[in-house]
């Protein structure tokens, strides 16, 4: 650990756990890649009917494979409260909703707010709740941990006003949690934490790992909702960027070690569409196929609001890798 990291650890100790780490090398042959986006035109999981828990917005897909198919824990907004809902599918395209499983309370730190956008880790689910937002843990889709497992940072830190948007990957026996952090200036940037058990986390001393875009770019007003995977000898990230009008689009970054990231261009990789996702695309969730394509589930909406009331629905598309030969 470098001297400045030791100093930072001493300064931050007692408020949260911190460490200096990198991710292991990504598998595969290092290859220069250009990505081509091929979306399906219509949502695959629409918002619900009036009176249902997801009647206004269905967003934030968190998807894993099970022996019987796919499990999707997604966020539903009815105009008053966020909840986590369950949907299942045999192919990832046709979904059957099973209702809500997670709502505010009774943990005191949650207050009356639970955004529900979260990440599946084995039998557990990490979710965002509280004011300021922090990350909680739902064990076995039934039992909540009594306290946040990833709290907001101490005074003066980049994430002192809240953390959210968890995305977890596992590599070489450790879990890595990518997340959003907000500071007192309301800047929203991205960071990472590490854990051996999925419960006790250490934030990187090098956070934030991805900064806002330059003025006039698609991500100048905020970053969020990271999705990370290894491929072609690199770590890749999709993330949501917000512009000054609160339009949201999805950008891409690449890294050798999961800590130092380089954005791929100043324009979004996945832009808005027409109709149902004409103002917002956000909330990426990825699945790498055997043929090297990356299936991306994402949220979309036709209203550029900062948090909810987007008329949000969940769509899907493919990122197709094209080797660059020159």
What is the 8-class DSSP label of residue 11?
H
pLDDT recorded at residue 142: 82
Please give the mean pLDDT across all residues of the chain.
92
Who contacts 119 (Cβ-Cβ below 8 Å, separation ≥6)? 62, 125, 126, 166, 167, 168, 177
| CATH number 2.115.10.20 is the correct assignment for the domain at 34-323 | yes
195-205 pLDDT per residue, tens: 999 999 999 99
> Range with the lowest mean pLDDT among 58-72, 138-152, 160-174, 235-249?
138-152
| pLDDT value at 13 more than 80 | no
Please choose, from the candidates 215, 210, 252, 181, the residue with its C-alpha nearest in 3D space to the C-alpha of residue 34.
252
Q: Residue ranges of the domains in the chain?
A: 34-323
| pLDDT value at 118 more than 50 | yes
Q: How confident is the model over 70-86, as a mean pLDDT?
A: 95
Q: Is the peptide bond before 106 cis (omega within 30 degrees of 0)?
A: yes
- Confidence band for 14, pLDDT divided at 50, 70 and 90: very low
pLDDT recorded at residue 16: 59
| pLDDT value at 12 more than 50 | no
> Range with the lowest mean pLDDT among 61-75, 98-112, 138-152?
98-112
């Amino acid at each position: 650990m470098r001297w400045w990291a030791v100093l930072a650890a001493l300064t931050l100790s007692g408020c949260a756990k911190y460490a200096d780490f990198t991710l292991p090398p990504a598998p595969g042959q290092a290859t220069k890649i250009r990505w081509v986006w091929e979306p399906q035109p219509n949502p695959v999981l629409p918002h619900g009917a009036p009176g249902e828990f997801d009647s206004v917005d269905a967003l934030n897909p968190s998807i894993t494979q099970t022996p019987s198919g796919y499990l999707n824990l997604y966020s539903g907004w009815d105009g008053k409260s966020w909840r986590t809902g369950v949907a299942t599918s045999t192919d990832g395209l046709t979904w059957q909703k099973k209702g809500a499983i997670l709502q505010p309370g009774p943990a005191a730190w949650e207050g009356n707010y639970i955004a529900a956008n979260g990440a599946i880790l084995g039998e557990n689910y990490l979710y965002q709740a509280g004011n300021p937002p922090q990350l909680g843990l739902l064990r076995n889709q039934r039992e909540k941990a009594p306290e946040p497992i990833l709290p907001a940072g101490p005074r003066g830190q980049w994430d002192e006003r809240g953390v959210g948007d968890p995305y977890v990957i596992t590599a070489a026996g450790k879990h890595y949690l990518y997340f959003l952090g907000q500071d007192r200036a309301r800047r929203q940037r991205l960071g990472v934490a590490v854990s051996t058990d999925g419960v006790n986390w250490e934030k990187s001393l090098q956070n934030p790992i991805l900064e806002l875009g330059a003025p006039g770019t698609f991500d100048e007003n905020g970053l969020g909702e990271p999705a990370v995977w290894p491929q072609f000898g690199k770590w890749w990230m999709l993330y949501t960027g917000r512009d000054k009008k609160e339009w949201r689009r999805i950008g891409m970054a690449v890294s050798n070690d999961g800590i130092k990231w380089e954005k791929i261009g100043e324009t979004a990789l996945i832009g808005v569409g027409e109709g149902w996702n004409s103002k917002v695309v956000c909330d990426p969730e990825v699945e790498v196929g055997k043929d090297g394509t990356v299936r991306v589930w994402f949220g979309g909406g036709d209203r550029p609001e900062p948090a909810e009331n987007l008329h949000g629905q969940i769509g899907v598309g493919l990122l197709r890798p094209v080797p660059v030969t020159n």
